[in-house]
Chains A and B, each alone.
Chain A
Amino acid sequence: MKNTNRIHNLFQTKKKNILSIFFTAGFPEISNTVAILKELQNSGVDIVEIGIPFSDPIADGPVIQQSNQRALENGMTLNLLFEQLKDIRKEIKIPILLMGYINPVYQMGIENFLKKCSDIGIDGVIIPDLPPEIYEEQYKTFFKQANIANVFLITPKTSSERITYLDSLSEGFIYLVSSSGTTGKDAQFHEKEYLRIRSMNLRNSLLIGFGISNYASFQKACHSADGAIVGSAFIKALQKERPIEQITPFINSLLKPQTVTG
């Protein structure tokens, strides 16, 4: 059975309103990883993306930057993350992706990294600063051998020609960045560009990320794509006291319109 089937199966069985949640490994506490995963699964999240912390996260806004810094101060490393996730498939059935910058992966060695992913049951990887040309030339074979999906990013500004190219390389889904910017800024919905992208009939499903923070923006994203990814807003929820207890109410606030309570 292919690992990547978890992602493929999900998109086969659920056609819309897919919710993917991003969090940084090692934040707020180093020991939170598994507890966060369990709570996310229980609260009805479809996919999780676990961030590998990095000292220089150039595509991220202040919220995720600070979570990276805190995670590193807490002592999180890629090796430790793999150790924490060793038995994760006994309990977590939803697709898991690892997301991070290329350098920590490069230091571990791409083959070694992918083997560890495969052994644990990680379904996919998102490496924003791994360009598709390099992936195709040097990395693709290893991803295929390990049967790990590599998800590429596109933006509303990406040309149709390049989207076709990225769609041909991407596995699992395509990560559509809401507007060209760093994470955590309010999404500006480029409906016209989304329409252009939708009308290309890509082989991959589309999830919109960056700036999705509440019920309204989640709905809006789901209107233009197959679902959405929430990162910074979730990290903010985890900054509060008793972070694990914040998870289910936060997910509910994304999935259901909020009623004013007295």
Chain B
Amino acid sequence: MNHTANSKGFYGNFGGAFIPEMLFPNIDELKRVYLQTINEPSFQKELKVLLNDFVGRPSPLYYSRNLSEKHSANIYLKREDLNHTGAHKINNTLGQILLAKRLGKKRIIAETGAGQHGVATATVCALMNMECIVYMGKVDTERQMPNVERMKLLGATVVPVTSGSQTLKDATNEAIRDWINNPENTHYIIGSVVGPHPYPEIVTLFQAVISKEIKEQVKEKTGKEYPDYVIACVGGGSNAAGAFYHFIDTDVKLIAVEAAGLGLQSGKSAATTALGQPGILHGSKTLLMQTEDGQVVEPHSISAGLDYPGIGPLHAHLFETGKAKFLYVTDEEAINAGLELTRTEGIIPALESAHALSALNQLTFKKDDIVVINLSGRGDKDMLTYLEHYKNI
């Protein structure tokens, strides 16, 4: 099965580069150089050193005794939460800033929802001494104030976006507009496996280090070539793309977990594969939550990182072909799974990752199954939400 984008940027029926002509020079430049640049030995070497010494890779693969007992299987957590800045996001921003440097760009723009990608971008900009502008929906700047302050402390300019619904999709629109208006000196570090080709592919390649390590670590710890399951949450889908990448052509069961919000039929959900139709947003054809008239619908999830009305085109393709199984977890189920991990393992997971954990309750395993859950981030940013819920139980 073909899991890399074809020359036009399509994964099966999804992907492409649906961009206005004003963006063509930017995208064309990126398309021409990204593969060659990323594959250069000097690029790979610089990235590897930084991933090891700056990010702290490889991230551990941790055997969770308590979850294993409860679910009668061998359950491992891939500890992306232990990365510098607290999530998988830095794998991508580090790769992209090296790419931007080689393209001779001086100015970095990014969009962010919860602020995790914004912080990871501001971090690598500080490291590389680059100007950094982060677009963030005004609503999100208010509910994620600590991350706004972190970005500012790191030297980034945070621009509150007041258009549309003032959340992640509008922040993305605004970042794209900035790129249209500043085509020459600016690189856009997109935060997920979304956007026009070659972005979904670039972000997937930089996140693929996750599955590369999982494969090596599973072999080392269990002697087996492959795990039986890999489970990851999907908003846009960058941590899942990274965790799945090296297993797509194998028999490993890939489980993608979307946010059901208050429930699939509640009208307050972000479960794109359950509720979406094919459509075009932010430059690629994918599954999209939208009205019959083709207007994009504002999603809901308790986790800001899953609060996106589409999914990356690779995931739309994995869904359509049945290669990945998609499950849906509500706000409440996710919080409970997060609190459970906190109390049984001493790990407070990000609410995004808590969705992946909760999916364990929807699966039945064989006793010797090896199950890897990608713990994409830590829960520090979600303390207020956890505490509010905790007070009520």
Contacts and interface: CB of A to CB of B under 8 A. Distances in A.
A140 interface: no
Contacts of A166: 21
Nearest to B288: A103
Contacts of A59: 20, 22, 177, 180
A152 B16 CA distance: 18
B279 A107 contact: yes
A108 interface: yes
Q: Report which residue of B20, B164, B292 has the largest number of chain A beta carbons within 10 angstroms of its beta carbon.
A: B20
A152 B295 CA distance: 23
Nearest to B178: A182
Contacts of B52: none
A182 B180 CA distance: 7
Nearest to A157: B25
Nearest to B8: A133
Interface stretch (A3-11, A13-21, A50-58, A228-236): A50-58
B18 interface: yes
B48 interface: no
A134 B16 contact: yes
Nearest to B170: A56
A58 B21 contact: no
Interface in B260-290: 277-283, 288, 290
Interface residues of A, number: 43
Contacts of A128: 20-21
A242 interface: no
Contact of B280 (A66, A129, A153, A185): A129
A79 B293 contact: yes
Given A103-B279, A107-B277, A72 B22 contact: no
Contact of B183 (A66, A107, A180): A180
Given A56-B173, A65-B163, A107-B277, A131 B290 contact: no
B292 A58 contact: no
Contacts of B173: 56-58
Q: Report which residue of A54, A102, A107, A181 has the largest number of chain B beta carbons within 10 angstroms of its beta carbon.
A: A107
B293 A78 contact: yes
A72 B165 CA distance: 13
Nearest to B285: A106
Nearest to A69: B164
Interface string A113-135: 00000000000000011110110
Contact of A153 (B16, B20, B176): B20
A103 B277 CA distance: 11
A62 B178 CA distance: 12
Contacts of A54: 294-295
A254 B164 CA distance: 31
Interface string A169-187: 0000000010011100100
Contacts of B169: 56
Contacts of A58: 20, 173, 176-177, 180, 282
Nearest to B27: A131
B181 interface: yes
Contacts of B183: 157, 180
Interface in B176-221: 176-177, 180-181, 183
B330 to A, nearest CB: 26
A90 interface: no
Interface string B1-40: 0000000100000001111111011000000000000000
Nearest to B293: A77
A78 B18 contact: no
A162 interface: yes
B19 A131 contact: yes
Contacts of A103: 279-281, 288, 290, 294, 296
Nearest to B21: A153
Interface string A54-98: 111111111001100100100001110000000000000000000
B41 to A, nearest CB: 32
A34 interface: no
A105 interface: yes
A243 interface: no
A133 B6 CA distance: 14
Interface string B285-307: 00010101111100000000000
A62 to B, nearest CB: 7
Nearest to A78: B293
A162 B24 CA distance: 10
Interface string B344-365: 0000000000000000000000
A138 to B, nearest CB: 11
22 contacts: A55-B296, A56-B164, A56-B296, A58-B282, A65-B163, A66-B163, A69-B163, A77-B293, A101-B280, A104-B294, A107-B294, A128-B21, A129-B18, A129-B280, A131-B17, A133-B8, A153-B20, A153-B21, A158-B21, A180-B180, A180-B183, A185-B181
Interface of A: 54-62, 65-66, 69, 72, 77-79, 101-108, 128-131, 133-134, 152-155, 157-158, 162, 166, 177, 180-182, 185
Given A56-B164, A69-B164, 9 more contacts: A56-B170, A56-B173, A103-B281, A103-B290, A107-B277, A153-B21, A153-B22, A157-B25, A182-B180
Leading 4 A-B pairs by shortest Cβ distance: A104-B294, A107-B294, A128-B20, A153-B21
